[in-house]
Amino acid sequence: MALTDYGLLIIVLILGYWIFQLKLEIDRISDELDRKPPEPSSLSVHDMQMLQSSLVELVEEIEQYTESQMRKMAAQVQSIQILCQRLEKQIQERESSKAFSPPPPSSASTRVVPLSPKQNQANHKNHDRIIELHQKGWTPDKIAEELRITKGEVQLVVNLA
């Protein structure tokens, strides 16, 4: 799961916990109101019933709002997941195209040693494989690592080819 998924999951859990706590608090207040007899000089039974119905409506509205917000967040999470998948796919495509694209021209100067007529091309044991990987755009460092030889050997074979 991505970091955004964890963040959104935490938000959803916090909202769920908040709703749960709100319901508990409403139940506690309702229980207190049920246990306490109305004070003679305070609210009448009718007033208490009106207050209770108002609280019930308020809780229902809060629940509906919370549910709609959670649906919106779930849709946003799904959109983010789709975007993350697309982004990961693009990154993988770019990385794979970099691995097979020719390397940019190097500004570092290389020393070329001319061959005498008696000298032949290098008879390196990995000559064909080095040339093949070089033509695919692999860097001398990568070729050397792959074939477990030195970078100098790779450069020599490539320069002599």
Q: According to the model, what pLDDT value does residue 140 have?
A: 92
Give the span between the Cα atoms of 19 and 9, in whole angstroms.
15
Per the CB < 8 A criterion, the answer to whether 110 and 155 are in contact is: yes
pLDDT by residue (tens digit) across 80-109? 889 888 899 988 888 887 766 665 665 555
Rounded mean pLDDT, 57-65? 91
pLDDT by residue (tens digit) across 10-50? 888 999 899 999 999 998 888 887 776 656 557 788 888 89
Q: Could you tell me what percent of the chain has a pLDDT over 90?
A: 29
Phi-psi region of 2 (alpha: psi -120 to 50; beta: other; left: phi over 0): beta
User: Domain residue spans in the chain?
Assistant: 3-35+44-100, 127-160
Planar angle of CA 25, 30, 34, nearest 5 degrees: 150
